[in-house]
Amino acid sequence: MRNLFVLLVAASAAFLPLASIADDTTPLEWQPPLEGVVRDAKAAITIARAIWFSIHPDFEKNQEVVEFWKYNLEAELKGDVWIVETKSSKADLDGGVGFLISKKDGRIIKLYGWQ
């Protein structure tokens, strides 16, 4: 009987560190990497496309629109903000659309268009 008691105490002591970890209720806060979440132009353009197609889901079914969004966006990093715009100039009659995307955390700072 004494051996069983010693075995139970030893087994309980083995799980004690796990119990103290489980009791820790402080939530871990996510911190973005120092180089930012949106690290390159391709990532910024991918985010812009995803936002545009979430606003206009019917456009994703139109292959011509998909091809336009695949090849007619350019991204430029200014400070900590990616500027993603359609390649058409602001003088074009078609107009265009642009996004300001935070390099640090991927937030959409602004969505704008012109005609």
Give the whole-angstrom CA distance, residue 69 versus residue 10: 64
Q: What is the pLDDT of residues 41-68, one digit of tens each?
A: 999 999 998 998 888 888 778 888 888 7
Tell me: the pLDDT tens digits for 60-113? Answer: 788 888 887 778 899 999 999 999 998 865 555 667 889 999 999 999 999 998
Site of tokens 């078609």: 94
Q: Domain total for the chain?
A: 1
Instruction: Give domain status of residue 67, yes or no.
Output: yes
What range defines the domain where residue 74 resides? 41-114
- Tokens 């979440």 found at: 37
Give the up-direction half-sphere exposure of residue 104: CA atoms within 13 A in the CB hemisphere: 5
Q: Is residue 69 part of a domain?
A: yes
Query: Does residue 62 fall inside a structural domain?
Result: yes
Predicted model pTM: 0.67
Evaluate whether residue 81 is within a structural domain.
yes
With respect to residue 103, please indicate whether it lies within any of the assigned structural domains: yes
Rounded to whole angstroms, the maximal C-alpha distance in the chain is: 91
